[in-house]
Structure 1
Amino acid sequence: MNSKHVMIDTDWLEAHLNDPKLRLLDATVIMKQDENGVDISSGKEEYDKEHIPGAVFTDLLHELSDTKAPLPLTASSHEEFAQTISDLGVGEGTYVVVYDRGAVVGAPFSASDWASRLWWQLRLEGFDEVYVLAGGLPKWKEEGRPLTDEQGSYPKATFTGQRRPELLASKEDIKNAMSDTSTVIINCLSPAEFKGETDAYPRNGHIPNSKNVFFGDVTDPETKGVPDKEKLHELFDPVGALDTSKKVITYCGGGIAATWNALALFTLGREDVAIYDGSMVEWSSDESLPLEVGE
């Protein structure tokens, strides 16, 4: 398989901040976890305090999600997405770099999976010139690079992409895939969550026949991007995800971390990975659907 370039580093971004074709998007969502559960809120307040110069805030939680859907962070319709992303200046003749502030506030550094969520949504809606900043804002700040509180903006554009429905999986798709040997289902949560040893969801466990590749392991500790090809093969070969004769669907808790594993697979040439958007939040809430515990 051919490798695909999708991560960019801080040196490259700083050198291209004034490129008129660049659309730099801050995709931060604030997630806090404590004994009372998970709280998710917009990252706009943090963006207003400081961000990379020129960046515009992109509201994944409210403006790029279907707020009428029963589950939070459900991908919006193509028409709504196209309108919002056009207003942000993304369209023909531009390219996008996405970053965030990390997955969970107060947690050790992990994958930039809010950024990968927007990367996936752009690809879902037919836009390919999109890249993710390795390490996101935490790495940018660690290196002492410039920050600002001035609001960024770009001229309105016309987004012309067409939706790729094959990159989005539904509950029905998963039900069919459970018994389909030509489909690999990957659970991207921690081993403890996969085994059903936590109480993160209405019911514990994993979707039958799914394999576990923890998204937290799919990060290079130095670059803060995806690991090298050798490491990725170690992670994904055993579960069959690199067999191009098979379809791959990734899922997690709510369709966020799953996009990081999809991005990692994309770098190995798997451009066809689908995301189960409802993930465990939807699946575990339906008592009629099976779950397995243990390995």
Structure 2
Amino acid sequence: MTPAPLITPNELQKRLGEGRLRIVDATVHLSFDADGAHVRSGRDTYLQGHLPGAVFLDQITELSDPNGEAPFASASSENFAAAVGAAGIGNDSTVVVYDTVNGIWATRLWWQFGLEGFDDVVVLDGGYNAWVAAGLPTETGESTHPAATFTAHRRPERIASTDEVVTATAESSVLLVNALDPTVRPVTYCGGGIAATAAAFALKALGRDDVAVYDGSMNAWTADPDRPLSSADSRP
């Protein structure tokens, strides 16, 4: 079984100060009310407290394509590379991602790095809350690093579009649930392509390297009222 791409707070604390280490706060705040789902950048909570040396990457603006088929559609390879490079993440970096909520925003960023051909990235086990609970130090304000060169190499097999999912619904070789059958390719989905990355993360830990994420998920699927539904979910 492949080890989960996780690092514990104590393991990370021992590595603070390594020259190639880059820690990223990936927080997005998600809330629901009678009007539906709402997202807000996590930059404010990042400034109030973050891991030592951590930078913030805004998944709402910097890492999403505003012209994509659904909210949070992945940014182009060029825009992703520009954003992470400006944050000081280069081809030789070792990246740790975390969030201050339930972990799905960290796995979303983990997945985006993998989508762009970068594998030296792990998720902080338990996120910011576990770091604080362990009594480890935090900082306030903005942390920066010198800009670096990040070269993206898109892996198209790790992302599924709505057209591909429509085709997949008629194929026995693709299953739109979390599957371990080696003859069936898993495609994970959710409301908006965020929580689906947590399923992809778990499947990676179980040794599956062929998992695709339906990036638009239910947001994109339900944009066409003629597409069939057995259930619906508005969550990301």
Match of 1:269 in 2: 207
Report if aligned partners of 2:86, 2:147 keep a CA contact under 8 Å in 1: yes
Question: 2:68 matched to 1:77?
Answer: no
Match of 1:148 in 2: 139
Alignment root-mean-square deviation, CA: 1.5
Compute the displacement of 1:33 (Å).
2.1
* TM norm structure 2: 0.94
Counterpart Cα distance in 1 of 2:231 and 2:192? 19
Q: Which deviations, in whole Å up to 9, do the C-alpha atoms of 1:250-276 show, x marking residues without a partner?
A: 000000000000000001111121010
Question: 2:116 matched to 1:125?
Answer: yes
Match of 2:88 in 1: 89
Check 1:49–1:293 CA distance in 2 against 1; reply closer, same or farther (3 A cut): closer
Question: 2:204 matched to 1:248?
Answer: no
Runs of at least 5 residues in structure 1 that lack an aligned partner in the other structure: 104-111, 187-235
Alignment of 1:122-201 (within 5 A): 122-186=113-177
SS at match of 2:176: strand
Check 1:293–1:100 CA distance in 2 against 1; reply closer, same or farther (3 A cut): closer
Compute the displacement of 1:293 (Å).
4.3
Runs of at least 5 residues in structure 2 that lack an aligned partner in the other structure: none
Report if aligned partners of 1:97, 1:131 keep a CA contact under 8 Å in 2: yes
SS at match of 2:96: strand
Report if aligned partners of 1:53, 1:150 keep a CA contact under 8 Å in 2: no
Q: Which deviations, in whole Å up to 9, do the C-alpha atoms of 1:118-177 show, x marking residues without a partner?
A: 000000011000000011011112222211103211221111231000001011111111
Compute the displacement of 1:39 (Å).
1.3
Match of 1:9 in 2: 8
Report if aligned partners of 2:176, 2:187 keep a CA contact under 8 Å in 1: yes
Question: 2:18 matched to 1:27?
Answer: no
Counterpart Cα distance in 1 of 2:218 and 2:152? 29
Match of 1:260 in 2: 198
Aligned pairs, number: 232
Match of 2:43 in 1: 44
Compute the displacement of 1:93 (Å).
1.8
Q: Which deviations, in whole Å up to 9, do the C-alpha atoms of 1:208-242 show, x marking residues without a partner?
A: xxxxxxxxxxxxxxxxxxxxxxxxxxxx6xxxx11
Report if aligned partners of 1:87, 1:156 keep a CA contact under 8 Å in 2: yes
Q: In the alignment, residue 168 of structure 2 is paired with which amino acid?
A: A
Counterpart Cα distance in 1 of 2:141 and 2:47? 8
Counterpart Cα distance in 1 of 2:33 and 2:231? 24
Deviates more, 1:29-38 or 1:250-259: 29-38
Report if aligned partners of 1:23, 1:94 keep a CA contact under 8 Å in 2: yes
* TM norm structure 1: 0.76
% identical equivalent positions: 44
Match of 1:230 in 2: none
Q: In the alignment, residue 173 of structure 1 is paired with which amino acid?
A: E
Compute the displacement of 1:70 (Å).
4.9
Match of 1:290 in 2: 228
Report if aligned partners of 2:68, 2:74 keep a CA contact under 8 Å in 1: no
Q: In the alignment, residue 148 of structure 1 is paired with which amino acid?
A: E
Counterpart Cα distance in 2 of 1:161 and 1:270? 22
Q: Which deviations, in whole Å up to 9, do the C-alpha atoms of 1:15-61 show, x marking residues without a partner?
A: 11111110100000011123442210110011111111100001111
Deviates more, 1:41-50 or 1:69-78: 69-78
Counterpart Cα distance in 2 of 1:69 and 1:166? 18
Check 1:293–1:119 CA distance in 2 against 1; reply closer, same or farther (3 A cut): closer
SS at match of 2:117: coil
SS at match of 2:165: helix
